[in-house]
C-alpha cells in the first residue's frame, strides 16, 4: 500500500508552480523534493510499482528535471541515489545569471522496510564508527560524482541528501573540496555524532559544558598531535574552508541538532577571546582523538560532522514528534519559521 507521503499530489510542494532559483525557499524545497524522489523510487521498486503505477516521477518532473541515472547499491541492489538533469522549457532559459543547477545528485536516508533496512542500518553503523568512506555504496556515489564533475564542471553539479544520504553528501563534498573542487550541497538533517548538549535548556550550563569540552579537546589534540598543529599550512580546515554547504537542521531532532551549538559556540569563543582554542577544538572530536590514542599508530579518520564553514538553516517551527523533526517533508512547507546564519572559518 502506498502512503500519502509518497504521493506528490497529496504531499508535495504544489505551490511551487514557478521556480525562482535565486529564492532560498525554492532551492531548498526543490532539492528536498528530489531527495524524496529517491525515497519513493526505492519504495516503487520494493512494491513492484511500474510504469503508470510508479509514484516517484512527479517528485522531479514537476520541477522540469529528468532522471538520467539511478544509483544502485551492489550489496542488496536497492536504489540509494539518483542523478537528475534540469530540462526546463525553452521559455525558462533566458536568464543566464539564474543560479540554476544543471545536474543534481541526490541521496536518500534510511528506509525502515525489510528490503532495504538491513543494508541501510549497516551503513548507519559505519557512520557511528566513522567508516562510511570504506563502504562500497560510498565508492559508487563518489565515482558518480567525480564522473559528473569531470564531464560538466563542478559549478554545474549540486549534491543533496537527507540523514544517511546527507552523510554521504557531506563526505563526498569534503573529499572533493580537499582537492580544490567545491560542489554546491544541500544537506538535510545530517548526522552529528556527539553528546546531546544542545538539548540542555539552561544556557549557562550548556555554554559551560561547551567551553570545558573545547579546552579538553584542544589540550588532547596538542598532546596527541604535537608540533604539527603549530603550522598554519597544516591546518586541516584551511584546506577546504572555502566549501560552504547548506545545512538544514531541526533543534528537536537529536540526530542533527548539535550543529546549532557547534557553530554558535565557535562564534562565542571568538567573542570572549578564546578563538585560538576553539579553532583547534573545532577540528577534532574527543572520540576521534581517543581512537588515535588507543589505535595501532594509525590516525583515526576525520569525523564526518567536522565542518569549517556552513550556511546553517534551523527550523524553529514546533514539531509534533521526532519523526516529523527528522523527516524530509518539513523542508518544503511554505509556513516555516527559519533562522539562517552563515558561518565562515577564519
Q: How far apart are CA 156 and CA 100, in angstroms?
A: 8
Question: How many other β-carbons are positioned within 10 Å of the β-carbon of residue 203?
Answer: 8
Angle between helices 258-271 and 203-225 (to 10 degrees): 80
- Look at residue 53 in the predicted model and tell me its pLDDT: 93
Average of per-residue pLDDT values in the chain: 84
Mean pLDDT for 138-156 is 97
β-partners of residue 84 are 67, 104
The answer to whether residue 207 scores a pLDDT higher than 80 is no
Number of residues that make up the chain: 346
Mean pLDDT for 4-32 is 95
CA-based nearest residue to 85, from 36, 189, 177, 157: 157
- The answer to whether 64 touches 86, Cβ cutoff 8 Å, is yes
Domain boundaries, given as residue ranges, for the chain: 4-188
The answer to whether residue 169 scores a pLDDT higher than 80 is yes
The answer to whether residue 264 scores a pLDDT higher than 90 is no
Q: How far apart are CA 103 and CA 127, in angstroms?
A: 27
- Look at residue 211 in the predicted model and tell me its pLDDT: 55
Q: Strands 338-343, 310-315: parallel, antiparallel or unpaired by DSSP?
A: antiparallel
Q: How far is CA 233 from the centre of its chain?
A: 27
Using CA atoms, how far residue 101 sits from 160, 175, 185, 336, in Å, is 12, 21, 11, 24
CA-based nearest residue to 124, from 173, 37, 190: 190
Query: What is the SS3 assignment for 21?
Result: coil
- Residue 218 has which C-alpha cell? 584542544
Q: Each residue of 154-165: pLDDT tens digit?
A: 999 999 999 999
Percentage of residues of the chain with pLDDT beyond 70: 75
Q: How far apart are CA 338 and CA 165, in angstroms?
A: 22
β-partners of residue 66 are 85
The answer to whether residue 291 scores a pLDDT higher than 80 is no
Between 164 and 222, whose confidence is greater? 164
Q: Each residue of 180-197: pLDDT tens digit?
A: 999 999 999 999 976 666
Q: How far apart are CA 160 and CA 184, in angstroms?
A: 9
What does the DSSP 8-state code read for residue 89? -
Mean pLDDT for 215-229 is 54
Q: Is residue 289 very low, low, confident or very high in pLDDT (cuts 50, 70, 90)?
A: very low
- Look at residue 229 in the predicted model and tell me its pLDDT: 45
Minimum mean pLDDT range among 104-108, 246-250, 319-323: 319-323
Minimum mean pLDDT range among 58-62, 105-109, 113-117, 245-249: 113-117
- Residue 12 has which C-alpha cell? 508535495
- Look at residue 232 in the predicted model and tell me its pLDDT: 43
- Residue 270 has which C-alpha cell? 571568538
The answer to whether residue 295 scores a pLDDT higher than 70 is no
Mean pLDDT for 301-311 is 85
- Look at residue 296 in the predicted model and tell me its pLDDT: 43
The answer to whether residue 220 scores a pLDDT higher than 70 is no
Query: What is the SS3 assignment for 247?
Result: strand
The answer to whether residue 275 scores a pLDDT higher than 80 is no
The answer to whether residue 205 scores a pLDDT higher than 70 is no
Mean pLDDT for 237-258 is 92
Q: Each residue of 5-16: pLDDT tens digit?
A: 999 999 999 999
Q: How far apart are CA 264 and CA 164, in angstroms?
A: 24
- Look at residue 290 in the predicted model and tell me its pLDDT: 45
Q: Is residue 283 very low, low, confident or very high in pLDDT (cuts 50, 70, 90)?
A: low
What letters, b where the CB count within 10 A reaches 16 and e where it falls short, cover 181-200? bbbbbbbbbbbbbbeebbeb
**DSSP secondary structure letters along 287-345:** HHHHHHHHSSSSPPPPPTT--S-EEEEEE-S--SSHHHHH-SGGGG-TT--EEEEEE--
Mean pLDDT for 56-68 is 98
Question: How many other β-carbons are positioned within 10 Å of the β-carbon of residue 152?
Answer: 13
Percentage of residues of the chain with pLDDT beyond 90: 63
Q: How many CA atoms lie within 13 A of 210 on its CB side?
A: 26
Amino acid at each position: 500500500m502506498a502512503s500519502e507521503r509518497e504521493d506528490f499530489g497529496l504531499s508535495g510542494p504544489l505551490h511551487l508552480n514557478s521556480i525562482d532559483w535565486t529564492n532560498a525557499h525554492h532551492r531548498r524545497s526543490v532539492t528536498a523534493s528530489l531527495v524524496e524522489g529517491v525515497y519513493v523510487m526505492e519504495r516503487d521498486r520494493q512494491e513492484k510499482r511500474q510504469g503508470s503505477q510508479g509514484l516517484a516521477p512527479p517528485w522531479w518532473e514537476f520541477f522540469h528535471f529528468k532522471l538520467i541515472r539511478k544509483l544502485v547499491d551492489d550489496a542488496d541492489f536497492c536504489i540509494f541515489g539518483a542523478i537528475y538533469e534540469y530540462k526546463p522549457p525553452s521559455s525558462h532559459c533566458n536568464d543566464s545569471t539564474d543560479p540554476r543547477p544543471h545536474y543534481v545528485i541526490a541521496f536518500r536516508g534510511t528506509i525502515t522496510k525489510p528490503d532495504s533496512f538491513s543494508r541501510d542500518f549497516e551503513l548507519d553503523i559505519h557512520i557511528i564508527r566513522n567508516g562510511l568512506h570504506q563502504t562500497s555504496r560510498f565508492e559508487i556515489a563518489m565515482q558518480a560524482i567525480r564522473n559528473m564533475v569531470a564531464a560538466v564542471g563542478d559549478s554545474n553539479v549540486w549534491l543533496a541528501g537527507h540523514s544517511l544520504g546527507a552523510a554521504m553528501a557531506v563526505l563526498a563534498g569534503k573529499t572533493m573540496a580537499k582537492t580544490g573542487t567545491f560542489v554546491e550541497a544541500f544537506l538535510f538533517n545530517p548526522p552529528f555524532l556527539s553528546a546531546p548538549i544542545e538539548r540542555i535548556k539552561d544556557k549557562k550550563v550548556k555554554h559551560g559544558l561547551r567551553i570545558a569540552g573545547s579546552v579538553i579537546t584542544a589540550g588532547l589534540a596538542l598532546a596527541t598531535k604535537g608540533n604539527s598543529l603549530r603550522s598554519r599550512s597544516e591546518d586541516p580546515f584551511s584546506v577546504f574552508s572555502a566549501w560552504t554547504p547548506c545545512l538544514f537542521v531541526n533543534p528537536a531532532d537529536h540526530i542533527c541538532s548539535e550543529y546549532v551549538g557547534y557553530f554558535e559556540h565557535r562564534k562565542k569563543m571568538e567573542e570572549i577571546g578564546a578563538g585560538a582554542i576553539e579553532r583547534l577544538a573545532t577540528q577534532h572530536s574527543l572520540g576521534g582523538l581517543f581512537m588515535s590514542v588507543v589505535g595501532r599508530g594509525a590516525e583515526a579518520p576525520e569525523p564526518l560532522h567536522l565542518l569549517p564553514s556552513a550556511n546553517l538553516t534551523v527550523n524553529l517551527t514546533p514539531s509534533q514528534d521526532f519523526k516529523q523533526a527528522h523527516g524530509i517533508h518539513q523542508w518544503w512547507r511554505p509556513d516555516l519559521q527559519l533562522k539562517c546564519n552563515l558561518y565562515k572559518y577564519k
